[in-house]
């Protein structure tokens, strides 16, 4: 049983309007023991609408103030952790490194929301080429990110791009991208970093969670053990969504434990 949600967004993220307290109350209702907020921090994001400029740049001080207030208020009911989701791009290595050291985060997710300064959320990323070509560019960019930046704990929703392809994950599988995926997994393990299993895929009509089953199985076969579980919830209704499914998937792939983090240090919990 998984009782810790380590990927959550509230109104301190530009793509959520959910009050943090509402998210916490939902987690308590569900019987969670840990919730880690991982608000978005994506510097140098290419906003197509000028009115959205800066929406993914986190006001960290305001976020931390509210989290500290609620952490004290609900201390007897749930453990609340201070996290962030960094949108990694190679040219931001210095900026992200300085930022990550500027706060006492409990947990940092590295994510690829952009690929070579392009947003795979938009259909234009896939125009004029197959999903496979677009996905390969995206997965290759993760290797570039890993070479550039290392101050994080897990890599989030590793195959995030399949949420938005023309055919999503209908024709997608680990074997098709094995050459890139194995290099990514080996690099993560060399750097002693973990993977996230992200149940947010459920909201996109995908056949699997992020990342796909065979990628998780391969990570375990290579000796990988460091796994966090996150719903990627942007509203209370999505907190811990699909965690029973995630627990079964991890067990099927050979994992016996999932991790929580406090002060950037993992603690392992039996599934």
How many C-beta neighbours within 10 Å does residue 68 have? Answer: 12
Q: What is the pLDDT of residue 94?
A: 97
The pLDDT value given to residue 101: 98
pLDDT at 124: 95
CATH code of 77's domain: 3.20.20.140
Question: pLDDT at position 51, please?
Answer: 76
Q: Could you list the pLDDT tens digit for every one of the 271 residues in the chain?
A: 999 999 999 999 999 999 999 999 999 999 999 999 999 999 999 988 877 888 899 999 999 999 999 999 999 999 999 999 999 999 999 999 999 999 999 999 999 999 999 999 999 999 999 999 999 999 999 999 999 999 999 999 999 999 999 999 999 999 999 999 999 999 999 999 999 999 999 999 999 999 999 999 999 999 999 999 999 999 999 999 999 999 999 999 999 999 999 999 999 999 9
Q: Which residue has the tokens 């995908």?
A: 206
Paired strand residues for 194? 154
Neighbours of 43 (CB within 10 A): 16
Q: Encode pLDDT of 61-111 as tens digits.
A: 999 999 999 999 999 999 999 999 999 999 999 999 999 999 999 999 999
**138, 115 Cβ separation under 8 angstroms:** yes
Domain residues for the domain of 99 are 4-270
pLDDT of residue 53: 83
On whether the pTM is more than 0.85, the answer is yes
Q: Which two tokens stand for residue 64?
A: 């931390």
Longest CA span, the chain: 55
Number of domains in the chain: 1
Q: Please write the tens of the pLDDT for every residue from 244-261.
A: 999 999 999 999 999 999
pLDDT of residue 38: 98
The pLDDT of residue 49 = 82
Q: Pairing relation of β-strands 227-230 and 257-262?
A: unpaired
pLDDT of 201 reads 96
Q: Which strand (E) or helix (H) includes residue 36?
A: strand 34-41
Cβ contact 60:32 at 8 Å: no
4 and 271 Cβ atoms separated by less than 8 Å: no
Report residue 43 as tokens.
């510097």
């Amino acid at each position: 049983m998984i009782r810790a949600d380590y990927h959550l967004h509230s109104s301190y993220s530009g793509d959520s309007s959910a009050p943090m307290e509402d998210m916490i109350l939902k987690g308590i209702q569900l019987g969670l023991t840990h919730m880690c907020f991982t608000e978005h921090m994506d510097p140098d994001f290419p906003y197509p609408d000028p009115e959205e400029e800066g929406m993914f740049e986190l006001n960290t001080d305001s976020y931390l103030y509210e989290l500290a207030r609620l952490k004290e208020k609900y201390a007897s009911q749930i453990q609340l952790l201070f996290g962030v989701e960094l949108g990694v791009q190679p040219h931001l290595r210095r900026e992200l490194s300085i930022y990550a050291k500027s706060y006492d985060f409990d947990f940092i997710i590295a994510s690829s929301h952009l690929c070579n300064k392009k947003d795979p959320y938009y259909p234009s990323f896939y125009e004029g080429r197959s999903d496979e070509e677009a996905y390969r560019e995206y997965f290759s960019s993760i290797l570039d990110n890993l070479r550039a930046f290392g101050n994080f704990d897990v890599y989030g929703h590793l195959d995030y791009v399949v949420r938005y392809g023309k055919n999503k994950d209908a024709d997608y599988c680990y074997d098709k991208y094995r050459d890139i995926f194995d290099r990514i997994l080996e690099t993560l393990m060399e750097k002693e970093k973990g993977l996230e299993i992200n149940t947010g895929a459920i909201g996109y009509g995908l056949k699997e969670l992020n990342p796909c089953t065979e990628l998780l199985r391969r990570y375990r076969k290579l000796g990988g053990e460091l796994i966090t579980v996150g719903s990627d919830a942007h509203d209370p209704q999505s907190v811990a969504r699909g965690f029973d499914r995630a627990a079964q998937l991890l067990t099927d792939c050979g994992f016996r434990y999932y991790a929580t983090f406090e002060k950037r240090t993992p603690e392992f919990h039996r599934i």
